[in-house]
Amino acid sequence: MKKARWIMGLTTAFFWASEYCHVPFFTPYLRTLGLTATVIGFLVGCYGFTQLCIRVPLGIFADLSSRYKWIVMAGCFFTTVSSIGLYLTQNVPLMFFFRILAGVAASTWVGFTILYTGYFSPDEGQTAIAQINAYNNAGKLLAFFLGSAAAMLWGYRAPLLMSCLTGLVAVACSFFIQEVHVKREPQSVRALLRVFGEISVLVPALLAIFQQMMIQATAFSFTSEVARTMGARPVEIGVSSCLFTATQILTAGFVSSGLARRLGSRPLLTCAFTLLALYCAMVGFAQNMWILYIAQIVAGFSAATLYSVLTADCIKYIDPGRRSTAMGFYQAIYGAGMTAGPILMGRFIDLSGMRPAFYLFGGISLFAAVLALALVPIVTRKYQKAPVKS
């Protein structure tokens, strides 16, 4: 199984490299085409809207069919087509189409996670998730190095070509993936749909909306535009994104530590949302790249903490036979945040400017911190039993 894990890990890394090589430079690139912040917000946001529509049926399909390898291969194919399409066209309707394909590709992540955990014994589930997330972040880090180099040498459009090339590598690796059949009790569609009413899934999904809204509107889009307006070179924008991702990788050790487990979800989520509010204030205030660099470290820690805790919480009380559906539902719901965040940020920037828009999103993050403080205990009180074993 070690070879199977290694091949799957490589596929995962290059898949996410393909999705993210161009991300730090996409907003500055669109600005050079003369597009307004509102239009850019819609272009960035349609990536999340696609996932909102697709992830639930894809999760149900995964639970019913267990055809995870084909889901992974489809994801690698769509991310490659998306990036080459965006590289070749400057037609806005076509750009929307290819951004939608990127969202389709990202929706297949549920297939990656369930297939990789199938290479481990049931009691190694947490280890499997930690490893696949490490490959995920390693791919993003590789993406930002490749994207930065391409942008520095050939301009903001070039990282799209790097996304295509890494996508082709992912496609090639995906042919060698070993399929596994996850053992589970047969489920009816009606039984799977009952997941949607579980408060243990709904609360993390609601909080994840705010998490994705914040990150997609800032670190993955308009923070790069702030850097560009300060006169940052492509390599400096790349360094900023690398700091964000590298901090996420390092934070994984803390989130999986005994200290984090003893602290529990409530303080971790509340602290992380509060730090995101601080991040927005720092970006809005930033007068030089050093402040922005520190802000990206704060954002990386917050984003990794929120992602890990909320993802674990959404399946904590769900039986194994319904976890793909629960995960698909959870990821679909937070797709609303991925959609709304960039659109709202772009509109606020056009109306009031960059700095007030970041301050407003800082206030939204503080509101999410209060929500976490209030809602997490409701789930804890309802499920006093031990979490379902993998």
Question: b or e along 179-211 (b: 16 or more beta carbons within 10 Å of the residue's beta carbon)?
Answer: ebebeeeebeeeebeebeebebbbbbbbbbbbb
35: alpha, beta or left? (left if phi > 0; alpha if psi -120 to 50): beta
How far apart CA 140 and CA 241 sit, in angstroms, is 9
- Can you say whether the dihedral through the CA atoms of 42, 46, 47, 48 is positive or negative? positive
Residues 76 and 388: beta-carbon distance below 8 Å: no
The predicted structure's pLDDT at residue 238? 85
CA dist., res. 216 & res. 102, Å (int): 14
Q: Are the CB atoms for 159 and 147 separated by under 8 Å?
A: yes
The CA–CA distances, whole Å, from 380 to 264, 269, 283 equal 10, 14, 35
Integer Cα distance of 332 and 193 in angstroms: 14
DSSP run (H or E) holding 356: helix 354-382
Residues of the chain with pLDDT under 50: 386-387, 389-390
Report the distance separating Cα 105 and Cα 212, nearest Å.
17
Nearest alpha carbon to residue 255 among 367, 137, 121 = 137
- For residue 65, the model assigns a pLDDT of 75
Q: What is the DSSP letter of 322?
A: G
Q: Please report the pLDDT score of residue 368 as a whole number.
A: 97
Q: What is the pLDDT of residue 163?
A: 97
Question: In Å, what is the CA distance from 169 to each residue of 57, 114, 182, 242?
Answer: 28, 21, 27, 21
Q: What is the rounded CA–CA span in Å between residue 384 and residue 310?
A: 18
Q: Which residues contact 197 (CB under 8 A, 6 or more apart)?
A: none
Question: Alpha-carbon distance 79 to 87, whole Å?
Answer: 12
- Give me 269's structure tokens: 């989520």
* Whether the Cβ atoms of residue 141 and residue 249 lie closer than 8 Å to each other: yes
Both structure tokens of 381 = 């009180």
Cα(269)–Cα(278) distance, rounded to whole angstroms? Answer: 14
Q: What is the reported pLDDT for 105?
A: 96
pLDDT at position 390, please?
45
R_g over Cα of the chain = 20
Task: For 194-262, give the secondary structure using H, E and C.
Answer: HHHHCHHHHHHHHHHHHHHHHHHHHHHHHHHHHHHHCCCCHHHHHHHHHHHHHHHHHHHHHHCCHHHHH
Q: Which of 47, 44, 49 is nearest to 78 (CA)?
A: 47
What pLDDT does residue 325 have?
78
Distance CA 373, CA 218 (A): 23
Q: Residues of the chain with pLDDT > 90: what percent?
A: 52
Residue 189 has what pLDDT? 63
**DSSP assignments along 184-195, one per residue:** -----HHHHHGG
pLDDT at 188: 58
